[in-house]
Amino acid sequence: MSTRFEFAKKDYEAWGIDLKEAFETVKKVPISVHCWQGDDLKGTEVVQNELSGGIDVTGNHPGAARNGDELRADLEKALSLIPGKHRINLHAMYAETNGVAVERDELEPKHFQKWVDWAKKHDLGLDFNPTVFGHPKSDDGLTLSHPDPAIRRFWIDHCKASRKIGEHFGKELGTPSLVNIWVPDGFKDTPSDRLTPRRRLKESLDEIYSDVYDENHVLDAVESKLFGIGSEAYVVGSHEFYMNYANQNNKLCLLDTGHFHPTEVVSNKLSAMLLFHDQLALHVSRPVRWDSDHVVAYDDELREIAQELVRNDSLDQVLIGLDFFDASINRVAAWAIGTRNMVKALLYAALLPHDHLKKLQDEGRFTERFALQEQFKTYPFGEVWDEYCRQQSTPIEREWLDIVKRYEEDVQLKRIDKAVHS
């Protein structure tokens, strides 16, 4: 414990803030770390398909994972740099089928057994997502809302198989798997019929969820989006659609921070949603330009999201996951930066005098409220964050990047063919 931390501790304790209690609060919050940052959403399917559904990954930083074993090794390294005990979020396109092409509607738990064995070894929970993009049957931009019953049937069966896989994860690992459904369905230009595709999507979801699973094994979530490349004018699964569907059908509504208008912020939605939903889920990203999925930065909106969760005692109600993919920088570093920032924001929120700030608001003392909010922005939080990392046996801020650089040199760069690398 450093002398500088002892001085910082006194600054916070002057406001009645118990740092030990704050550390324990944040330590209990698992972040679901998305596997797809590690390989640029290529997946491990035998038949490789081009990305679609408005998804794109840019950059060509060397050393991306080329298979499941390398991806898991990179995740292990990233997790060693992040304080706390977290989870891993998988997409169906990360099935490992021993070189045999298996269609997505035929996927089974056995195709993810390597992930389960690895998760058991490292005491990790696994979350899951059907991969409803990057496939010939999604090329025209419609899947669960497609007018062709055969195409709808394929994607319904894929989603049903995905929930079965999630159940296997939950049973094997002793922690429920969040199975989240997002589909890219929409139109590039103004539709002549908005209702019918949404009716088809609702009917597809109803059939998918007709299989009943124990919530101790599976937690179901649905994810909305405002627009995408190729669906600029109309998205079938809008926020209003999924918010109502989730509420009516006892599902989790998943809010992706990049899936709204540029002036909308998810932090402002949480308190309203939590009044009507027992649980919510998040995909935290950074929408520099709409849903551009940049690595999560320690910015105002991230801190505000964390503050909403902490001051409203809703950390147990909101499942936090990440969703970004950047191939212009080292991918392990991207995981470390983004996830550390999410944890950092939660700790920052846990060190604020929320009860006092609420009292100031109720009493109309807005000048004092504003002044105090600004005052805490320059408190010695960095010293507290470093001490939290030390207590979690995790590298502090000035240490972790050197570890990534060594890993890149010793492991990642050796994946590249020498002739190409030279």
Residue 111's CB is within 10 A of a number of other CB atoms, namely 21
- Annotation marks residue 283 as catalytic: yes
Closest residue by Cα to residue 88 from 259, 283, 322: 322
DSSP string for 104-146? GGG--GGGGHHHHHHHHHHT-EEEEE---SSSGGGTTS-STT-
Q: Tokens at residue 410, please?
A: 């010793």
Q: Which of 158, 239, 259, 277 is catalytic?
A: 259
Cβ neighbour number for residue 365 with a 10 Å cutoff = 14
Q: Are 143 and 137 in contact (CB under 8 A)?
A: yes
- Quick check: 252 and 280 in contact, CB under 8 A? yes
Closest by CA to 221, choosing from 162, 158, 272, 174, is 162
Helix (H, G, I), strand (E, B) or coil at 59: coil
Structure tokens at 313: 């005692």
Q: Is 323 a catalytic residue?
A: yes
Considering 323, 326, 387, 408, which one is annotated as catalytic? 323
Active site residue 256: yes
Active site residue 344: no
Q: Are 338 and 324 in contact (CB under 8 A)?
A: yes
The answer to whether 259 touches 237, Cβ cutoff 8 Å, is: no
Which listed residue (220, 256, 386, 387) is catalytic?
256
Point out the catalytic residue in the list 39, 172, 223, 408: 223
Q: Which is the catalytic residue, given 182, 335, 385, 400?
A: 182
Angle between helices 381-391 and 331-350 (to 10 degrees): 110
Catalytic residue among 225, 239, 277, 344: 225
8 Å CB contact between 181 and 159: yes
The one catalytic residue in 283, 383, 386, 408 is 283
| Active site (annotated) includes residue 259 | yes
Q: Cβ distance 124 to 175 under 8 Å?
A: no
Query: In terms of C-beta density within 10 A (0-12 exposed, 13-18 middle, 19 or more buried), how is residue 311 classed?
Result: middle
Q: Which two tokens stand for residue 237?
A: 């699964």
Terminus-to-terminus CA distance in the chain, angstroms? 45
Pairing of strands 234-235, 186-187: antiparallel
Q: Which one is catalytic: 291, 301, 308, 386?
A: 291
Is residue 86 among the annotated active site residues?
no
* 354 flagged as catalytic: no
Coil, strand or helix at 312: coil
Active site residues: 182, 223, 225, 256, 259, 283, 291, 293, 323
